[in-house]
Amino acid sequence: MPSKLSKLTKLPISATQKSRGVRKMSEIDALIGNAGEPVPVVDVADIKAVWAHGQELRAQYPEGVAVELDVWKQVCSPGADIRAIAHRCQRLGLLEMLLRPAWTGGDFSENALKVAARMDLHWMAPGVTQKSGVEEFLGEVFAEEQQHRRSPEKAV
């Protein structure tokens, strides 16, 4: 069952826009941090909310859909750092894509989302690539799982 918020996001991207990557410049600027600076740690609940909403949109609009910042603000908790959450979800999506040959999919674990909310990331300059970080990500998820097994009463 689609959420109420998905009704706000019915802004299909035309083939021309998709091929050119066209968006409002102010929206793009609002999602980019200063190259080299750390991406702020965010609340795992916001990562979960944005990731789940993004998955719902991908299912509804496999050809792609544009989502305005105001929609993401409605999905997240008040005062959430939307650009950091968006960047972390984009990174999680990249990791998902890189893991696809060895992982058939499904939902990310609670521990994977916790790591995505806090993993060490830095803003990149346009056109600059970063190493994938798959090994580091999986190492942190494994450590989170081990911590969870040692102290299940502390797990959230």
Kindly tell me if the per-residue pLDDT of 151 is higher than 90: no
Q: For the chain, what is the domain count?
A: 1
Give the predicted TM-score (pTM) of the model: 0.67
Cα dist. 78→32, 51, 54, 89 in Å? 20, 17, 19, 18
Ranking 14-18, 77-81, 92-96, 120-124 by mean pLDDT, the lowest is 14-18
Q: Are 104 and 50 in contact (CB under 8 A)?
A: no
Orientation angle between helical segments 110-118 and 134-150, nearest 10 degrees: 120
The whole-number pLDDT of residue 41 equals 95
- Domain assignment of residue 32, given as a range: 4-154
* pLDDT level of residue 9 (50, 70, 90 thresholds): very low
